[in-house]
Amino acid sequence: MIRVHDVVVIGGGQAGLATAYHLRRLGLDFVVLDAQPTPGGAWQRAWDSLRAFSPAAYSSLPGWLMPAQVGETYPDASHVVSYLGDYEQRYDLPVIRPVHVEAVHDEGRVLRVESASGTWWARALVSATGTWWRPFLPALAASAEFGGEHLHTVDYRRPSDFAGKRVVVVGGGNSGAQIAADLACEADLTWVTRRPARFLPDDIDGRALFDVATARRRALDEGRTDSGGVASLGDIVAVPPVREARDAGLLKAQPMFGRLTRTGVEWADGTTAEADAIIWCTGFRPALSHLAPLGLRRTRGRIPTAGTQALREPRLHLLGYGDWTGPASATLIGVGRPAREAARAIGELLDLA
Ligand code: FAD
User: Dihedrals φ, ψ of 304, to 5°?
Assistant: -65, 135
Q: Is residue 48 part of a domain?
A: yes
Average pLDDT value for residue range 334-339? 95
Task: Examine the pLDDT at 207 and tell me if it is beyond 90.
Answer: no
In tens, the pLDDT along 92-107 reads 999 999 999 999 999 9
C-beta separation of 347 from 28 below 8 A: yes
In tens, the pLDDT along 115-130 reads 999 999 999 999 999 9
Count of C-beta atoms within a 10 Å radius of residue 37: 8
Q: Could you tell which of 8, 9, 14 is best to mutate to test the pocket of ligand 1, judged by most ligand atoms within 8 Å of the CB?
A: 14
Which of residues 280, 304, 333 is at a domain's end?
280
Co-location of 267 and 161 in the same domain:
yes
The backbone region for 54, taken as left when phi is positive above 0, alpha when psi lies in -120 to 50, beta otherwise, is beta
Co-location of 151 and 273 in the same domain:
yes
- C-alpha 236 – ligand 1 centre gap (Å): 18
Which of residues 280, 295, 316 is at a domain's end?
280
pTM: 0.93
Q: Is 14 in the pocket of ligand 1 (CB under 6 A)?
A: yes
In tens, the pLDDT along 294-318 reads 999 777 778 999 999 999 999 999 9
Query: What pLDDT is attached to residue 223?
Result: 73
Task: Examine the pLDDT at 345 and tell me if it is beyond 90.
Answer: yes
Lowest mean pLDDT among 26-40, 189-203, 208-222, 243-257: 208-222
Q: Is residue 84 part of a domain?
A: yes
Q: 3-state class of 159 per DSSP?
A: helix
Q: Is 171 in the pocket of ligand 1 (CB under 6 A)?
A: no
Q: Is residue 67 part of a domain?
A: yes
Co-location of 28 and 143 in the same domain:
no
Query: What pLDDT is attached to residue 136?
Result: 95
Q: Is residue 207 part of a domain?
A: no
Average pLDDT value for residue range 264-274? 96
In tens, the pLDDT along 219-248 reads 767 776 666 665 666 789 888 899 999 999
Q: Is residue 319 part of a domain?
A: yes
Q: Could you tell which of 133, 182, 323 is best to mutate to test the pocket of ligand 1, judged by most ligand atoms within 8 Å of the CB?
A: 133
Q: Is residue 330 part of a domain?
A: yes
The residue whose CA is least distant from atom 9 of ligand 1 is 41
pLDDT band per the 50, 70, 90 thresholds, residue 327? confident
Q: Is residue 311 part of a domain?
A: yes
Co-location of 274 and 305 in the same domain:
no
Query: What pLDDT is attached to residue 235?
Result: 82
Query: What pLDDT is attached to residue 226?
Result: 65
**Cα–Cα nearest to 18, from 49, 51, 60:** 60
For position 191, which CATH number holds? 3.50.50.60
Burial category of 161 from C-beta neighbours within 10 Å (exposed 0-12, middle 13-18, buried 19 and up): middle
Q: Is 36 in the pocket of ligand 1 (CB under 6 A)?
A: yes
- C-alpha 322 – ligand 1 centre gap (Å): 10
Q: Is 60 in the pocket of ligand 1 (CB under 6 A)?
A: no
In tens, the pLDDT along 131-181 reads 999 999 999 898 878 999 999 999 999 999 999 999 999 999 999 999 999
Mean pLDDT of the chain: 92
Co-location of 16 and 37 in the same domain:
yes
The residue whose CA is least distant from atom 8 of ligand 1 is 41
Q: Is 11 in the pocket of ligand 1 (CB under 6 A)?
A: yes
Query: What pLDDT is attached to residue 234?
Result: 73
C-beta separation of 14 from 77 below 8 A: no
Co-location of 124 and 167 in the same domain:
no
Domain count, the chain: 2
The domain of 253 spans 139-199+235-280
Co-location of 77 and 111 in the same domain:
yes
Greater model confidence, 260 or 217: 260
**Cα–Cα nearest to 174, from 210, 214, 206, 133:** 206
Residue 157 and residue 193: Cα distance in Å, rounded?
A: 21
pLDDT band per the 50, 70, 90 thresholds, residue 201? confident
For a pLDDT cut of 90, what percent of the chain falls above it?
80
Query: What pLDDT is attached to residue 145?
Result: 87
For a pLDDT cut of 70, what percent of the chain falls above it?
93
The residue whose CA is least distant from atom 24 of ligand 1 is 331
Query: What pLDDT is attached to residue 242?
Result: 93
Q: Could you tell which of 101, 182, 331, 337 is best to mutate to test the pocket of ligand 1, judged by most ligand atoms within 8 Å of the CB?
A: 331
Average pLDDT value for residue range 316-341? 93
Co-location of 57 and 149 in the same domain:
no
Co-location of 275 and 327 in the same domain:
no
Residue 296 and residue 168: Cα distance in Å, rounded?
A: 38
Co-location of 92 and 159 in the same domain:
no
Which of residues 262, 280, 298 is at a domain's end?
280
Query: What pLDDT is attached to residue 227?
Result: 60
Query: What pLDDT is attached to residue 301?
Result: 77
Co-location of 190 and 309 in the same domain:
no
Co-location of 81 and 13 in the same domain:
yes
Q: Is 104 in the pocket of ligand 1 (CB under 6 A)?
A: no
Q: Is residue 205 part of a domain?
A: no
